[in-house]
Amino acid sequence: MSLAPPLLEIVDLVRHFPVRNAFGRRTGWLHAVDGVSLRVWPGETLGLVGESGCGKSTLGKTVMGIYSPTSGEIRFLGREIGRLPKRERRRVAKDLQYVYQDPGASLDPRWKVVHSLHEPLKIHTTLSRAERQAEVVAILRAVGLPDAHLDLYPHELSGGQQRRVGLARILTLRPRMIILDEPTSGLDVSVQASVLKLFRSLQDAFALTYVLISHDLAVVRATCARLAVMYLGKIVELGQTATVFPSHHGGFVGGEHGYAGQPEAFARRLRTVLDES
């Protein structure tokens, strides 16, 4: 696909969880991720889709180091990161970040926005306070929020504003890749489109690579050039979105927006809103 080496390469990755009975004895294994191999290239947005429970979020969290792999390899920037010591793994976090379904939940309710945005820079950089403040202001503006929001607490922000602040907190570290886990879950189509439009603009501005995890084919079709389909812990299809999509028409699409079974109609609506000025 590209002359450049892959930014992320996953080789035969396995993550199993023990199943225990009421007495705490192991009775079997849950094969959440079962021999996944995948490459992600610099600058692309790869969609990772599948029905609930197929293992897609577990795959993302294992790549991030939230879960340790049972076996297999995770190579990021050409380096195996799956079994690094905690201190070394923490350094990888600067370049590889994870956005949960509700990134605003990562905000400490006792801290103003300015403190939440300064914290990653204090931990991962040697910038002075003035340099950190300049970076924080620039990132906040990049996600479409005014400087005045720096003096607000999370409860004073709307849900959409909390998502933007949560994203800004991640962007302060200037990561190379972001794993987006259901980033538009629970949003109506117009708000979904504004969030996806923000992701697109940030990708251009910060040279980001995305892995977009979703059960909603319409969102993926509107934003991703390539698509990987997971089922029971395995990648069962991988290819260009336009090629893979027809075989899953109407599959595992959430119905909360009134588009269940109609991903093409929803995708057209999303693209229309995304393309509006």
- Tell me if 237 sits within 8 A of 275, measured CB to CB: no
> What pLDDT shows up at residue 257?
36
Q: How far apart are the C-alpha atoms of 212 and 200, rounded to whole Å?
A: 12
> What pLDDT shows up at residue 116?
92
Let me know if residue 155 belongs to a domain.
no
> What pLDDT shows up at residue 261?
44
- DSSP structural state of residue 111: S
Let me know if residue 14 belongs to a domain.
yes
Let me know if residue 106 belongs to a domain.
no
- Give Cα separations from 7 to 10, 80, 202 (angstroms): 10, 12, 18
> What pLDDT shows up at residue 63?
95
- Tell me if 213 sits within 8 A of 228, measured CB to CB: no
> What pLDDT shows up at residue 255?
38
Let me know if residue 74 belongs to a domain.
yes
> What pLDDT shows up at residue 268?
54
Beta bridge partners of 228: 48, 238
Q: Which residues, including other chains, have CB under 8 Å from residue 3's CB and lie 6 or more apart?
A: none
- Tell me if 114 sits within 8 A of 50, measured CB to CB: no
Query: Alpha helices of the chain — where are they, by DSSP H?
Result: 56-64, 86-92, 113-124, 129-142, 159-171, 189-206, 217-223, 241-244, 263-275
Beta bridge partners of 204: none
- Tell me if 209 sits within 8 A of 225, measured CB to CB: no
Q: Which residues, including other chains, have CB under 8 Å from residue 237's CB and lie 6 or more apart?
A: 227, 228, 229, 244, 247, 248
User: What CATH number is attached to the domain comprising 251?
Assistant: 3.40.50.300
Let me know if residue 269 belongs to a domain.
yes
- DSSP structural state of residue 53: T
Sites in the chain below the pLDDT cut of 50: 250, 253-263, 266-267, 270, 273, 277
> What pLDDT shows up at residue 276?
53
Let me know if residue 211 belongs to a domain.
yes
- DSSP structural state of residue 114: H
Note the maximum CA span of the chain: 60
User: 254 lies in which domain range?
Assistant: 8-95+175-275
Let me know if residue 121 belongs to a domain.
no
Residue 2: how many CB atoms within 10 A of its CB?
Answer: 11
Let me know if residue 167 belongs to a domain.
no
Number of domains making up the chain = 1
